[in-house]
Amino acid sequence: MSKYTPMIEQYLSIKAQAEDAFLFFRLGDFYEMFFEDAVKAAQELEITLTGREGGMEERIPMCGIPYHSAESYIARLIEKGYKVAICEQVEDPAEAKGVVRREIVRIVTPGTVMDGKTVGEAKNNFLVCVTSDQERYGLAACDLSTGELFVTVTDSSLEQLVDEINVYSPSELIGQPELLDKLQTTMAGWLPTKLLTGWDREDERLLGSQFPEEELRPVTPVGRESVALLLSYLSETQKRSLSHITRIEFYERQQHMTMDPYTRRNLELTETVRERSKKGSLLWLLDRTSTSMGGRLLRRWIDKPLTNRTEIEKRLEAVDCLYNGLITREELRQQLKEVYDLQRLVGRISYGNANGRDLIALKLSLRQIPHVRHICTTSGSVTLKELGDSMDDCADILQWIEEAIIDEPPVSVREGGLIKAGYHERLDQLREASANGKQWIAELERRERELTGIKSLKIGYNKVFGYYIEVTRSNLANLPEQRYERKQTLANAERFVTPELKEKEALILEAEEKMVDIEYDLFLQIRDKLALQVKRLQQLAETIAAADVLQSFATVGAAYRYRRPSITEQYEMSIAEGRHPVVEAILKDSSFIANDTLMANEDGRVLLITGPNMAGKSTYMRQVAMICIMAQIGCFVPADAAAVPIIDRIFTRIGAADDLVGGQSTFMVEMMDIQTMTAKATSRSLVIIDELGRGTSTGEGMAIAQAVIEFLHDRIGCKTLVSTHFHELAHLEETLGGLRNHCMAVKESGQDVTFLRKMIRGAASTSYGIYCARIAGLPDSIIDRAYDLLNRFETISSVMQVAGEAAAGKEEVGQLPAPGHVSTLPEAPSRPEMVRESAPIVQLSLFGDGEGHSKPASKQRSKADLAADKLVEQLQAADLINMTPLQAMNFLYELKTKVAAEMK
C-alpha cells in the first residue's frame, strides 16, 4: 500500500493543529501550501497552482510564495477574513537527521495582526472576547498591536452586549460557542466582524501570571472569565510572551453615553452611511491630531462620550486654554508632529519584531518629550499641567539607543551595520581588522597592476568564490603563471586567486562574519532591555495621545468658531444659534442657517416638528444630538451658546432602509426601534424620530405616532424630537403640557418656494411634496397630473368630512352638488399655492334638490327623514380612514344617487 513521503506526512500532522487556517509551510526560501490550502490560496491570491510528487499516484496540488514577501500575501488573506498559520524550520538542515523539524510559530488572524501596513494607523484593531454567566455578560477588547485591554460587563440584555461590541468595531470576535451562536442568530446584522471563533479553552493561571492582583481586583467574575479566555486564545495563536499587555482598563457602562448601532450609523459618528468612509463623519471633522496615537484615542472618545461632569469639565478646561492660546496650540502641534506611534513601536519591541529603524523612531520621539512637557506645564491649564507632570521623558531609554544604534540603520537586523563605533570593544577591533584587510586588498590591486602592466586588472568579491583577480582575455599572456591559479572562466575574462589573496580573504571574512553575529547579539540585548520598560513607554504614549486630542479639539473649535458649552445636571437644554458641524464644514462658502433649541421639562421636552421635505428637519434633529455628543467628549460646540445636560443615552430612528436580509420591512424595523426606545429610555435620554408612523396606512400610522408621543411624554419624560408629515398631530399641543409644535419656515413667491431652513413655533400646513418632486427633475406631465389628483383628493376629503358631520347631526349644512358631476372637480393648479386658492367648498345639505337648492320642508319631510336615516346608517358603517381616494369618490357618488332617487 502506497503512502505519503515523510515530508508530506510531517505537513499533514502540522496541518491538523491548525485546520481552520492556511498553513504556510517553510521549504527553503518559500512558504508552500498543499492539498485544499493550495487550491483555495491559488484562487484568493491569484498565484499559480502546480503539483508535486508526494508518494501517491496522483500529484499533490501545491502553490508557494517567497518567504521575504510573505507579509503582503498574509495581509491579503487576513483582509478576506482568513487565518494564516506560519510554520518555520526550527532545526538547522545541515544538522538534521531525516526531515527537518518544523513547528507553527504563530497563527495570524484578523484580530491579531501586528504588521503596520495591515492595521490602520489611526484606528485600533480590536479582538473582542465575550462570555456569559447566569445573569451578566463579560466583554474584553484587546488591541494586540498596542497592548491596550478594555474590560466591562453588561446586564442580561443581549442588545446591550451588541451595543458594547459595536463600540469597538472588532475585526475578530471570539467567545463561548453557544453565546456566539446566539449573537449570530439574533444580531447578525450588527456584528461587523470578519471572523467569529468559538473558543472555550479558558486558563485562569494566565491571569495571575499576566497581571498583579491589584489589576484584577476591580474586575467582576464574568469579566475575569472574558480576560482569561482572551489571553488563552492569544497564547495559543501567538506562541510567545504577551508582556506588553500590562494593564486592564475596567469600566462600568454607565460611565459613558450609550448608543445602539442604529444611532451610531444614523449620526455618522465615525463613518458615513452611504460610502462607509471617514470623510463626512464627525471623526473626519474633529481629527486634527498630529499623531497616530491621538487619532486612535479621538475615535474612542467619540465612540464613548463621558457621563461624568467632572471629567468632561477637565477636558473642556484644557481645550479652552488652547482655544484662546494660538501660540501655545501651534507650538504643541508642531512638537507632536515629530512623535512617532509610540504604542505600536512598543508593541513591536515587546513582540521581538522591532528593527533598527524602529529604535531610531523611538529615539526621535523621546527627544520631543521635554518640549511637549514644557508646553503643557506652562500653558496655564490645570488639566494640561497634570498631563505634563505625568510625562516621563524616559531619558535613560533615549541614552541607551543614542549610544548604541547608528542614525540610519539598515532594515535587516541580521546583516550588520547597526551598532555605533565605540559601543563594543571587540566589535571595534574586528571592524578595524576588516577595514585594514580591505585596504590591503586595494593596495594588492594597485601592486598587481604595476607588476603585470595590466591597467584593467581588478580584484572583486562574491559569496560563491570569495575574493578573486579578474583579467580580460586579451591580457592573459601578461600574467605570471606560477602565482596565478585559475578559479573561473567568463565569456570575456578569467578569474584567478593567489596564495596571499586566499590567506587575507580568510581573515577578512572571519572578521565580517563575527562582526555580523556580534552586532545581532548586541541589538537583541538592547531590544530586550527596552522591552523591560514597556509600561513606562505605554503610560507616556497615553498622555501624549490625550494632549494631542485636546489640541485637535481646540484647533477645530477655533477654525469654526465653536463655543464652550456649559455642562449641567439640570433637565433643561438650551442652544443658541446651533449648527450641524459636519454640514457646515462641507458647505464651506455657503452660510449655514443656525437654529435655537430650548427643551425644558414643562416647556418643550417634546418638539413636534412639521414642514416640507428638504426644509432641514432631519439636519436640525441630528445637530441637536451632535452638539450633545461633542459636549460630552469635551469638545467645544457649533453654537453661540449652549447649556447641555448630561445625556445618558441617545436613540435615533432616521431614514433606515428595509432590512431585506432579515426579512423586516421599514415599518417593522421602525417598530422594533420604538420598542427599544420605550423599554430603555430614561428621563435623561434623548430620543430622535424622523417621520414617525410612516410605512403603514395613514390612519394607523397617525394613531401609532400619537400613542408613541404620548407614551414618551407621559411615562418617560425624556427629551424627544419628532418630525412628521401628519399635520393633524399638531392638536397634541393642546393636551400634552410639555409638547410644543415647531415647523420649518417657507417663503412663497410666485411659482417659487424657498425653504428658509429656520425653525419657528407653530405647525406647518403642507409638506410641498410635489414641489420637491419638481425640483428633483420629474417630467412636467407627472407634476401637472400630481397637482390635478391632489386637488381632487382634497376636495373629496372636504366633502367626506362635511358629510360625516351631517351624519353626526350637525345643524348647519350646505348643499350637495348635483348627481353625476364627479368629473367636474376644479382643474389642477399650475403652482403650489394655487392648491389653497381653489374655489371654496360650500357646506352641503342632505335635503337639497338636484340643483343644490333647498326645498320646502313641509313638502319633503317624510321622504327626507327616510333618506337621512339610510344615509346616516351607510356613513356610520363606512371605513372612511382605509378607503382609497377612488373608493371614496365612488362611495360619495352612490350616496348622491340614492338621495336623488329617494327625493323624487
The predicted model gives 195-221 an average pLDDT of 86
DSSP single-letter state for residue 653: E
CATH architecture of 561-767: 3-Layer(aba) Sandwich (3.40)
The per-residue pLDDT for 320 is 97
Q: Per mean pLDDT, which of 107-116, 260-269, 382-391 is the most reliable?
A: 382-391
The per-residue pLDDT for 719 is 97
Joined together, the cell numbers standing for residue 271 give 463613518
H, E, C per residue of 705-736: HHHHHHHHHHHHCCEEEEECCCHHHHHHHHCC
The predicted model gives 60-66 an average pLDDT of 94
Per-residue pLDDT of 629-655, as tens digits, reads 999 999 999 999 999 999 999 999 875
The predicted model gives 768-793 an average pLDDT of 76
Joined together, the cell numbers standing for residue 207 give 491571569
Q: Do domains 316-409+529-557 and 561-767 have the same CATH topology?
A: no
447-486 core/surface letters (b: 16 or more CB in 10 A; e: else):
ebeeebebeebebeeeeeebbbbbbeeebeeebeeeebee
The per-residue pLDDT for 884 is 66
State how far the Cα of 438 lies from the Cα of 417, in Å rounded to an integer. 16
The per-residue pLDDT for 747 is 79
What residues form the annotated binding site for ATP? 611-618
Of 210-219, 591-600, 773-782, the poorest mean pLDDT is in 773-782
CATH fold, domain 120-255, is Nucleotidyltransferase; domain 5 (3.30.420)
State how far the Cα of 787 lies from the Cα of 782, in Å rounded to an integer. 9
Of 169-173, 649-653, 677-681, 748-752, the poorest mean pLDDT is in 748-752
The predicted model gives 499-522 an average pLDDT of 87
Higher confidence at residue 301 or residue 503? 301
The per-residue pLDDT for 434 is 82
Q: Is the pLDDT of residue 182 over 50?
A: yes
* 137-143 and 148-154 beta bridge pairing: antiparallel
Higher confidence at residue 892 or residue 215? 215
The per-residue pLDDT for 120 is 67
- 393 burial type by CB count under 10 A (0-12 exposed, 13-18 middle, 19+ buried): middle
Q: How confident is the model at residue 157 (pLDDT cuts 50, 70, 90)?
A: confident
Joined together, the cell numbers standing for residue 803 give 358629510
Higher confidence at residue 429 or residue 866? 429
User: Is 1.10.1420.10 the CATH classification of the domain at 425-516?
Assistant: yes
* 50-52 and 60-66 beta bridge pairing: antiparallel
The per-residue pLDDT for 654 is 75
Q: Is the pLDDT of residue 898 over 90?
A: no
Per-residue pLDDT of 352-370, as tens digits, reads 889 999 999 999 999 999 9
Q: Is the pLDDT of residue 57 over 80?
A: no
Share of the chain above pLDDT 90, in %: 53
Q: Is the pLDDT of residue 808 over 60?
A: no
Residue appearing with cell numbers 463655543: 563
Per-residue pLDDT of 366-411, as tens digits, reads 999 999 999 999 999 999 999 999 999 999 999 999 999 999 999 9
Angle at 613 between CA 607 and CA 616, to 5 degrees: 55
Q: How confident is the model at residue 3 (pLDDT cuts 50, 70, 90)?
A: confident
Q: In what order do the strands lie in the sheet with 30-34?
A: 50-52, 60-66, 30-34, 22-27, 84-89, 102-108
State how far the Cα of 404 lies from the Cα of 384, in Å rounded to an integer. 34
CATH fold, domain 316-409+529-557, is MutS, DNA mismatch repair protein; Chain A, domain 3 (1.10.1420)
Q: Per mean pLDDT, which of 155-159, 171-175, 771-775 is the most reliable?
A: 171-175
| Phi, psi (rounded to 5 degrees) for 626 | -65, -40
Q: Is the pLDDT of residue 177 over 60?
A: yes
Q: Is the pLDDT of residue 682 over 90?
A: yes
State how far the Cα of 636 lies from the Cα of 630, in Å rounded to an integer. 7
Length in residues, the chain: 904
The per-residue pLDDT for 801 is 61
The predicted model gives 550-578 an average pLDDT of 97
State how far the Cα of 371 lies from the Cα of 388, in Å rounded to an integer. 10
State how far the Cα of 175 lies from the Cα of 139, in Å rounded to an integer. 9
Among residues 459, 549, 670, 436, the alpha carbon closest in space to that of 122 is found at 549
Higher confidence at residue 265 or residue 647? 647
Joined together, the cell numbers standing for residue 381 give 491649564
Higher confidence at residue 61 or residue 435? 61
Cβ neighbors of 109 (< 8 A, separation 6 or more) are: 21, 78, 83, 127, 172, 195, 197, 237
What residues form the annotated binding site? 611-618
Higher confidence at residue 296 or residue 781? 296
Higher confidence at residue 612 or residue 593? 593
Share of the chain above pLDDT 70, in %: 86
- 427 burial type by CB count under 10 A (0-12 exposed, 13-18 middle, 19+ buried): buried
DSSP characters for 371-401?
Answer: HHHHHHHTSS-HHHHHHHHT----HHHHHHH
Cβ neighbors of 221 (< 8 A, separation 6 or more) are: 133
Which helix (H) or strand (E) covers residue 439, if one does?
helix 425-452
Q: How many helices (H) and strands (E) does the chain have?
A: 29, 27
Residue appearing with cell numbers 501660540: 327
Of 587-601, 689-703, 821-835, the poorest mean pLDDT is in 821-835
Average pLDDT taken over every residue of the chain: 85
Within 13 A of 239's CA, how many CA atoms are on the CB side? 11
Q: How confident is the model at residue 818 (pLDDT cuts 50, 70, 90)?
A: very low
For residues 513 and 505, is the Cβ–Cβ distance under 8 A?
no
Per-residue pLDDT of 707-737, as tens digits, reads 999 999 999 999 999 998 888 889 999 999 9
Cβ neighbors of 717 (< 8 A, separation 6 or more) are: 601, 605, 683, 738
DSSP single-letter state for residue 20: T
Report the SS3 class of residue 545: helix
The predicted model gives 141-152 an average pLDDT of 95
Q: Which amino acid is at 694?
A: R
Among residues 696, 626, 556, 645, the alpha carbon closest in space to that of 263 is found at 626
Higher confidence at residue 762 or residue 663? 762
State how far the Cα of 650 lies from the Cα of 670, in Å rounded to an integer. 16
State how far the Cα of 57 lies from the Cα of 53, in Å rounded to an integer. 8
CATH fold, domain 6-108, is MutS, DNA mismatch repair protein, domain I (3.40.1170)
State how far the Cα of 727 lies from the Cα of 788, in Å rounded to an integer. 21
The per-residue pLDDT for 591 is 82
Q: How confident is the model at residue 746 (pLDDT cuts 50, 70, 90)?
A: confident
Which helix (H) or strand (E) covers residue 824, if one does?
none
Of 138-152, 364-378, 617-631, 846-860, the poorest mean pLDDT is in 846-860
- Going from N- to C-terminal start, the domains of the chain cover 6-108, 120-255, 316-409+529-557, 425-516, 561-767, 780-903
Among residues 350, 353, 347, the alpha carbon closest in space to that of 147 is found at 347
Give whole-number Cα distances, 181 to 129, 175, 228, 698, in Å: 14, 10, 20, 39
Joined together, the cell numbers standing for residue 825 give 372637480
The per-residue pLDDT for 819 is 36
Among residues 574, 627, 623, the alpha carbon closest in space to that of 601 is found at 574
Higher confidence at residue 281 or residue 181? 281
State how far the Cα of 829 lies from the Cα of 834, in Å rounded to an integer. 5
Of 58-62, 235-239, 856-860, 891-895, the poorest mean pLDDT is in 856-860
